[in-house]
């Protein structure tokens, strides 16, 4: 294929991509959306708004719901955690505070940075192959700095947990927490 054809195809792909839209989670959508899909999304958003007061109360009284009102907590989680509460809820559900303390005790405040300085070459090769295949239609994780950030978390994990290292597809688990938290908060959740 000539350079001119290659450039032309790239330009066409870029133009085509601009015609696409992203959903509220950042995933690339097809050009034409079925009408019922849009209605379902609107219904979902309305439900989240209606449940916000309940979730606000639960977040402010987490210990009570986590210990004495577990059935209510489970029921509401199964119905879906409203977007504005997802990060905090998962942080509490996964007991991130205790995970963080455990890691600080093990390696100090800069534990994550120390892990990044070490290398697991075998895992690094698999991670690099896997990164491009992880959510290739997501606006933030298709390329660039967000992929590098994901790569760093996976590399640190492969050094931290040498027994497991890196397993193909682990990037999807890491990205779930990326959607919820910033930077290092998700490292301990793999």
Specify the 3-state DSSP secondary structure of 20: coil
Residues of the chain with pLDDT > 90, as a percent, come to: 20
Tell whether 36 and 63 lie within a shared domain: yes
Nearest 5 degrees, angle CA 48-CA 53-CA 56? 100
The residue written with tokens 């590399």 in the block is 155
When divided into structural domains, the chain yields a total of 2
Q: Which domain holds residue 168?
A: 97-189
Distance CA 174, CA 177 (A): 6
Tell whether 9 and 31 lie within a shared domain: yes
| pLDDT exceeds 90 at position 86 | no
Condensed to tens digits (0 to 9), the pLDDT of residues 175-185 reads: 877 766 655 55
3-state helix, strand, coil in the chain (%, to 5): 70, 0, 25
| pLDDT exceeds 80 at position 133 | yes
Distance CA 84, CA 184 (A): 20
Tell whether 78 and 23 lie within a shared domain: yes
Of 55, 73, 93, the last residue of a domain is 93
Tell whether 176 and 109 lie within a shared domain: yes
Element (H, E) at 151: helix 145-160
Q: Stretch 145-154: mean pLDDT, rounded?
A: 87
Tell whether 57 and 35 lie within a shared domain: yes
DSSP label at residue 26: S
Distance CA 181, CA 53 (A): 22
């Amino acid at each position: 294929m000539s350079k001119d054809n290659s450039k032309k195809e790239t330009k066409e792909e870029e133009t085509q991509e601009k015609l696409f839209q992203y959903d509220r989670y950042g995933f690339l959508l097809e050009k034409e959306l079925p009408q019922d899909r849009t209605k379902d999304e609107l219904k979902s958003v309305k439900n989240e708004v209606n449940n916000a007061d309940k979730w606000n109360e639960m977040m402010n009284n987490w210990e009570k719901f986590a210990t004495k009102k577990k059935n209510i907590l489970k029921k509401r989680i199964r119905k879906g955690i409203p977007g504005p509460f997802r990060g905090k809820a998962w942080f509490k559900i996964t007991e991130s505070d205790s995970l963080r303390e455990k890691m600080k005790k093990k390696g100090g405040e800069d534990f994550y940075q120390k892990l990044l300085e070490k290398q697991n070459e075998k895992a690094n090769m698999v991670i690099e192959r896997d990164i491009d295949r992880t959510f290739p239609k997501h606006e933030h994780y298709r390329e660039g700095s967000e992929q590098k950030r994901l790569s760093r978390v996976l590399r640190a994990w492969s050094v931290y947990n040498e027994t497991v290292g890196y397993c193909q597809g682990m990037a999807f688990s890491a990205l779930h927490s990326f959607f919820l938290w910033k930077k290092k908060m998700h490292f301990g959740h793999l």
